Structure formats: structure tokens, C-alpha cells
Chain A
């Protein structure tokens, strides 16, 4: 099975900061990579699909990049509502694998 490793596992940042989260795949997955945001007690929400395509309705401060084995999610200017846990997910093979998550906290 493919392994997906996110870094960092947790991150403290301030409103207005630029933040980057990295996701690495154990083998090449082209750009079959999605990003989700999850707030406590809530279902995940799709942010980015196909590594860099912004889901409809998601603010443009979110962006994704990468291909092959290394991917990034960038939030250009953190807003209070962005403090959450973020997961990458590969859609290259079955079983579908999620990263372990990155918890973004307020500094």
C-alpha cells in the first residue's frame, strides 16, 4: 500500500500568516492528490482535488501544488476560521490512503 506522510504533524501560526503543509507519497502518484479540512466534531470538507484544483466555494487563499511524490497545501493569509486539521488523500490506488493529518493551531 502507498504511505502518505504529512509534515508537520502540528503547527502554530497567527492570523495573517502564510502557512505551508507538505504531503509526501511513498511512491509516485502523479497528481492524484486531494486535500481536506476538518474542524472538531465536523465532517471533512474538500479543499483541493487533483493536487491543484480548487473546489468550488473554497476561498482562493487556499492553493495546492506538486506532482509525483511531494505535494503542498498553502494558505496565503490565515483567517480565524482556518484553524483546523488538514488531511491529504491519494486517489491513485485502492486502498485509498489519507495522511495522518496536520493540526493547525492559533499561536
Chain B
């Protein structure tokens, strides 16, 4: 079964750090771009970051650039999101998602169940 399972969320104080993990199974992880997407309580979806197949290329939404770092370990079939200098507005459910491709078209075809990050004092 193709599956993504996030972990590492929790309660952290403003200015603190947290590292999220996403464990992939049931597919060849190293062949896929991966995304992190978040959803603040009661709000819509926001793309946070992406990372290419070998981890050499990452892109970020402006609000997290310089604070968050996406990485991956293909030998461990794992994706990570290192989050530093956390702010209250980073409070959200964080999802990892697999990026499928059909020619030039890219879409998120597999999602994890999410892990919740709460930034509060």
C-alpha cells in the first residue's frame, strides 16, 4: 500500500524549533518530488515547500523562506521539514504529499494524514 506518515508535530514556544518527518512506503520514494503543505485551523491549504528527487533543489513559500528547510533521505524513504524561529502563524496541520507527473502536469496524488504543530507560549 502506498502510504505517507508524518510525525514530529507538537507544542513549541515562539522562536523554537521542530523537525517534522514523513515516512514513505509502498513506492519508490527516490523517484518523486515531494511537497509540504499546511493548513491553519479553520483555514485553507497553503503550499510550504517542495524538494526534488535527490534533495538538491528546494523551494519555499515566502513566509517560511530562511526559517524552514526541507530535506530527504532516500535510503530511509524519509522526508523532513526543519522548522526554526517558529511563529504563532506557523500553527497548522502539516501534510507531506507525493508529486505525480503526467507530462508537464504535476499534482499531489498521495497525502499523509498530517501532523499538528502548535506555536504558543
User: Does A32 contact B105, Cβ atoms closer than 8 Å?
Assistant: yes
Say whether A50 faces chain B, with CB atoms less than 8 Å apart. yes
Interface of A is mostly: loop
Say whether A74 faces chain B, with CB atoms less than 8 Å apart. no
A34, A38, A43, A98: which contacts B107 (Cβ < 8 A)? A34
The interface residues of chain B lying within 8 Å CB-to-CB of A31 are: 105
B35, B59, B61, B113: which contacts A43 (Cβ < 8 A)? B113
User: Does B112 contact A95, Cβ atoms closer than 8 Å?
Assistant: no
A43 to B4, CA, bound (A): 11
Q: Mark A33-72, 1 if CB is under 8 A from B, else 0.
A: 0101010001111100110010100000000000000000
User: Does B111 contact A96, Cβ atoms closer than 8 Å?
Assistant: no
A53 to B106, CA, bound (A): 12
User: Does A97 contact B44, Cβ atoms closer than 8 Å?
Assistant: no
Could you give 9 example pairs across A and B, Cβ below 8 Å? A36-B108, A43-B95, A43-B113, A45-B111, A53-B105, A87-B44, A89-B47, A95-B59, A98-B45
Interface of B is mostly: strand
A42 to B45, CA, bound (A): 12
Known interface pairs A94-B59, A95-B62, A96-B35; A46-B107 also in contact (CB < 8 Å):
yes
User: Does B105 contact A49, Cβ atoms closer than 8 Å?
Assistant: yes
User: Does B111 contact A97, Cβ atoms closer than 8 Å?
Assistant: no
User: Does B114 contact A43, Cβ atoms closer than 8 Å?
Assistant: yes
Count A/B pairs, Cβ under 8 Å: 62
> Interface residue tally of chain B, by bracket?
20 to 34
Instruction: Count A-side interface residues using an 8 Å CB cutoff.
Output: 25
Give the interface of A toward B (CB within 8 A).
31-32, 34, 36, 38, 42-46, 49-50, 53, 55, 87, 89, 91, 94-101
The interface residues of chain A lying within 8 Å CB-to-CB of B105 are: 31-32, 49-50, 53, 91
Say whether B102 faces chain A, with CB atoms less than 8 Å apart. yes
Known interface pairs A98-B47, A101-B44; A46-B61 also in contact (CB < 8 Å):
no
User: Does A96 contact B47, Cβ atoms closer than 8 Å?
Assistant: yes
B60-82: which residues lie under 8 A (CB-CB) from chain A?
A: 61-62
A31 to chain B, nearest CB (A): 8
